[in-house]
C-alpha cells in the first residue's frame, strides 16, 4: 500500500514517521469499501445488497471518505511498523501530526509521531570503585528482636475497674461532626481497635481518650498541622464523637524458655531462639550491604550512561507510582485529589515532584537491562526450580505444589526476571573494586541510614 516512507529519530526517543500512499491505492481502498457497503447496507426502496453505487455514495459520501482515510492510515501504519527500524512502544499510541483530507486526484501523505525504545550507550560498568559498609549484629539488636517477639506474643484481657490508660487495648466507635454538630455521612467507624499510645489511629486521639470508661462518649476537636502523615487531614480541624466500647489490658510474657517454645516447637530453649534470631539478622545484614553496593554501582553506571527517556515511558512510571501511592494510603483517586486540593495542590503538582525520581529509577532499570543483554546473563530452568524449592522449604510446601502456585499466579516470568536481576548485580559486584567502608550500627544499616 505504501509508496514511500521515512522515519526520523527525534529528541527523547520520539520518531517522526512520514508515509505516502499513492492515489491508485486510495481509489482501490475506497472502491472496496463502497462495494462492501453496497452488499450489506439496506436503503429504503432497495433490497439489501442491491443498492446502486451512485445512491450509496450520494447518501454516505462523507462517511465513506472518512472511513477510507482511517483504513488507509491504519493499514499503512501496520505495514510500515513491520519494517521500520525504530518500533513503537506497545503502550505509546501514535499521534497524527497533520490534518488528513482525502483527494482522489492526489497521493496521500501524512505524518505521525510515536515513542520508541530508547537507545542506550552504556558508561563503564567494570572495575568501578565502591565502599562496602561495615556492620555487626550486637547484643542490643538481639534484645530488640526478642522484645518485638515478646510484644507479638502478649495477650489481652478485660481490664478491671476500667479506665483508659496508655498501653491499654481499646475498641472505639467514632464519627466526624460538622459545624452544626451533625454527624457526617460515611465517616463512621465501629469497633476500631488499637493500642493507646501507639499512634496507630487516623486521628491520633491516644491522649484524648485517656481516663475514659466503657460506654463513655466524648466529643473532641483536633487541628492537624503539616506534620500529620495523612494528606487528607493536613491543615484541617476535625470534630469527633468517640465512644469507648471496651478496654483491655495487655499481659506481656517473660522472655524465657516458655516463650521460645510458644513461638515455635522447633525451639526447646531460649538459647535456641536467640541462635535462630542471630542467624536471621546476619542474613538481613548481608542483604542490606549487598543492596547498598548495588545502589552505588548502578548510580555510577547510570551517571555515565547516555539514554533519552521517551515521555510515554516516564508518564507510565509516574502513573504506576501514583497507583502505589493510593494503595499505601488506602484511598482512591477522587479522595486523594480532594485532599490535595485542600492543600492547594493537584495531582499534576505531585507528579512533577516525583518526576526526577521516576526518571532515575527508569534509567537504572534500563542500564541493568542493557548490561544483562551485553553480558548474556540468562536464567536456567534449574535456577528457577532452585528458587521455588527454597520457597517451598521455607513455607512447608511440596515443590510441585509450590511450582504450580507460581504458574497459576503467572509469577514464573517475574521470578525469572528477579533471578536475572540478581545475577546481573552479582556480576557487577564481582567485577568491581571493593574496599572497606565506614562502620555502621546494625539498626542504621537496617533503616538505610548510610
Q: Domain with 310 in it: what CATH number?
A: 1.10.3120.10
Least confident stretch, 102-111, 236-245, 303-312, 336-345: 336-345
Mean pLDDT to the nearest integer, 320-326: 95
**What pLDDT digit, counting tens, does each position of 20-75 carry?**
999 999 999 999 999 888 888 878 777 777 778 888 888 888 999 999 999 999 99
> Would you state the cell numbers that stand for residue 210, as one nine-digit string?
485517656
Average pLDDT over residues 398-420: 94
pLDDT of residue 299: 95
Q: Are 260 and 157 in contact (CB under 8 A)?
A: no
Q: What is the DSSP string of 229-255?
A: S-GGGTT-EEEEEEEEEEEEEEEPPPS
Question: Picking from 215-224, 229-238, 257-266, which range would have the lowest pLDDT averaged per residue?
Answer: 229-238
% residues pLDDT > 90 (the chain): 81
Task: Mark whether 247 and 276 lie in a shared domain.
Answer: no
Q: Are residues 271 and 247 in the same domain?
A: no
Query: For residues 372 and 35, which has the higher predicted lDDT (pLDDT)?
Result: 372
Strand segments (E) across 181-236: 189-195, 217-223
What is d(CA 199, CA 405) in angstroms, rounded to the nearest whole number?
38
The total of structural domains in the chain comes to 3
Q: Is the domain of 239 the same as that of 273?
A: no
Rounded Cα–Cα distance for residues 203 and 406 (Å): 40
| pLDDT for res 57 | 87
Determine contact, residues 159/247, Cβ cutoff 8 Å: yes
Distance between CA atoms of residues 289 and 284, nearest Å: 9
249 and 156 Cβ atoms separated by less than 8 Å:
yes
Answer whether residue 150 is part of any domain: no
Q: Are residues 278 and 218 in the same domain?
A: no
Are 167 and 197 a contacting pair, CB within 8 Å?
yes
Percent of the chain with pLDDT over 70: 100
Q: Is there a domain that residue 166 lies in?
A: yes
Q: Is residue 256 part of a domain?
A: no
* Same-domain check for residues 246 and 272: no
CATH number at residue 193: 3.10.50.40
pLDDT at 398 over 90: yes
Q: Is 404 among the domain residues? A: yes
Give the model confidence (pLDDT) of 23-35 as tens digits.
Answer: 999 999 999 999 8
Residue 210, C-beta contacts closer than 8 angstroms, at least 6 positions apart:
164, 165, 166, 196
313 and 401 share one domain: yes
pLDDT score of 403: 93
Query: 352 and 409 in one domain?
Result: yes
Please list, residue by residue across 373-393, b when 16 or more beta carbons sit within 10 angstroms of its beta carbon and e when fewer do.
eeeebebeeebbeebbeebbe
- Residue-level pLDDT at 55: 86
Q: Please answer whether residues 205 and 221 qualify as being in contact, where contact means their C-beta atoms are separated by less than 8 angstroms.
A: no
Residue 77 clears pLDDT 90, i.e. is over it: yes
Q: For residue 437, how many C-alpha atoms fall within 13 Å in the half-sphere facing its CB?
A: 18
User: Of the ranges 48-57, 133-142, 258-267, which one carries the lowest mean pLDDT score?
Assistant: 48-57
Residue 160: what pLDDT? Answer: 80
Could you tell me if residue 360 is inside a domain? yes
Whether 304 maps to a domain, the answer reads: yes
Instruction: Let me know whether 109 and 175 are in one domain.
Output: no
407-427 average pLDDT score: 95
Taken as a whole, the chain contains a residue count of 450
Asked whether residue 416 is domain-assigned, the answer is yes
pTM for the full model? 0.73
The conformational region for residue 221 under phi > 0 = left, psi -120 to 50 = alpha, else beta, is beta
| Domain that includes residue 88, residue range | 2-117
C-alpha to C-alpha distances, 430 to 191, 294, 439, nearest whole angstrom: 54, 11, 22
Query: Which position has the higher pLDDT, 59 or 122?
Result: 122
pLDDT reported for residue 372: 96
DSSP 168: -
163 in the same domain as 23:
no
Reply yes or no on whether the pLDDT at 270 is more than 80.
yes
Rounded Cα distance between 215 and 193, Å, is 15
47 and 192 in a single domain? The answer is no
Q: Where does 280-330 show beta strands of DSSP type E? A: 306-307
Which of left, alpha, beta for 265 (phi over 0: left; psi -120 to 50: alpha)? alpha
Average pLDDT, the chain: 93
Residue 315 lies in a domain: yes
Q: Measured between alpha carbons, how far is 285 from 446 in angstroms, rounded to an integer?
A: 7
Q: From CA 162, how far away is CA 170, in angstroms rounded?
A: 10
Same domain, 312 and 181: no
Q: Do 421 and 327 fall into the same domain?
A: yes
Cβ-based burial of 294 (10 A; exposed 0-12, middle 13-18, buried ≥19): buried
pLDDT band at 298 (very low <50, low <70, confident <90, very high): very high
Residue 410: predicted pLDDT:
93
**Averaged pLDDT, 166-191:** 93
Amino acid at each position: 500500500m505504501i509508496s514511500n516512507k521515512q522515519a526520523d529519530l527525534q529528541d527523547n526517543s520520539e520518531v517522526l514517521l512520514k508515509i505516502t500512499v499513492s492515489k491508485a491505492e486510495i481509489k482501490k481502498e475506497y472502491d472496496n469499501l463502497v462495494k462492501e457497503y453496497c452488499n450489506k447496507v439496506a436503503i429504503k426502496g432497495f433490497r439489501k445488497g442491491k443498492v446502486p453505487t451512485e445512491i450509496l455514495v450520494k447518501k454516505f459520501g462523507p462517511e465513506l471518505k472518512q472511513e477510507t482515510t482511517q483504513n488507509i492510515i491504519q493499514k499503512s501504519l501496520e505495514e510500515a511498523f513491520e519494517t521500520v527500524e525504530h518500533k513503537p512502544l506497545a503502550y505509546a499510541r501514535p499521534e497524527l501530526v497533520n490534518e488528513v483530507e482525502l483527494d482522489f486526484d492526489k497521493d496521500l501523505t501524512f505524518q505521525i509521531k510515536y515513542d520508541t525504545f530508547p537507545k542506550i550507550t552504556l558508561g563503564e560498568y567494570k572495575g568501578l570503585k565502591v565502599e562496602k559498609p561495615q556492620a555487626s549484629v550486637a547484643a542490643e539488636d538481639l534484645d530488640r528482636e526478642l522484645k518485638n517477639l515478646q510484644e507479638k506474643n502478649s495477650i489481652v484481657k478485660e481490664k478491671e475497674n476500667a479506665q483508659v490508660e496508655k498501653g491499654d487495648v481499646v475498641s472505639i466507635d467514632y464519627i466526624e461532626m460538622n459545624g452544626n454538630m451533625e454527624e457526617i455521612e460515611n465517616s463512621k467507624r465501629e469497633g476500631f481497635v488499637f493500642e493507646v499510645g501507639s499512634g496507630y489511629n487516623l486521628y491520633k486521639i491516644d491522649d484524648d481518650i485517656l481516663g475514659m470508661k466503657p460506654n463513655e462518649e466524648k466529643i473532641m476537636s483536633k487541628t492537624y498541622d503539616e506534620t500529620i502523615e495523612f494528606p487528607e487531614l493536613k491543615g484541617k480541624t476535625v470534630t469527633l464523637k468517640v465512644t469507648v466500647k471496651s478496654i483491655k489490658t495487655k499481659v506481656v510474657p517473660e522472655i524465657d524458655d516458655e516463650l521460645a517454645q510458644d513461638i515455635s516447637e522447633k525451639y526447646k530453649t531460649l538459647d535456641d531462639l536467640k541462635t535462630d534470631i542471630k542467624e536471621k539478622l546476619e542474613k538481613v545484614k548481608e542483604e542490606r550491604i549487598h543492596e547498598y553496593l548495588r545502589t552505588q554501582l548502578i548510580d555510577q553506571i547510570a551517571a555515565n550512561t547516555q539514554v533519552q527517556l521517551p515521555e510515554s515511558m516516564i508518564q507510565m512510571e509516574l502513573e504506576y507510582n501514583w497507583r502505589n501511592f493510593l494503595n499505601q494510603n488506602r484511598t482512591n483517586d477522587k479522595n486523594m485529589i480532594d485532599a490535595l486540593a485542600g492543600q492547594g495542590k493537584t495531582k499534576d503538582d505531585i507528579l512533577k515532584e516525583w518526576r526526577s525520581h521516576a526518571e532515575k529509577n527508569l534509567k537504572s532499570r534500563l542500564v541493568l537491562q542493557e548490561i544483562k543483554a551485553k553480558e548474556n546473563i540468562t536464567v536456567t530452568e534449574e535456577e528457577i526450580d532452585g528458587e521455588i524449592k527454597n520457597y517451598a522449604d521455607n513455607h512447608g510446601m511440596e515443590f510441585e505444589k509450590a511450582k504450580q502456585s507460581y504458574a497459576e499466579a503467572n509469577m514464573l516470568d517475574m521470578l525469572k526476571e528477579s533471578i536475572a536481576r540478581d545475577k546481573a548485580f552479582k556480576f557487577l559486584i564481582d567485577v568491581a573494586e571493593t574496599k572497606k567502608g565506614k562502620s555502621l550500627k546494625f539498626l542504621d544499616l537496617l533503616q538505610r541510614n548510610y
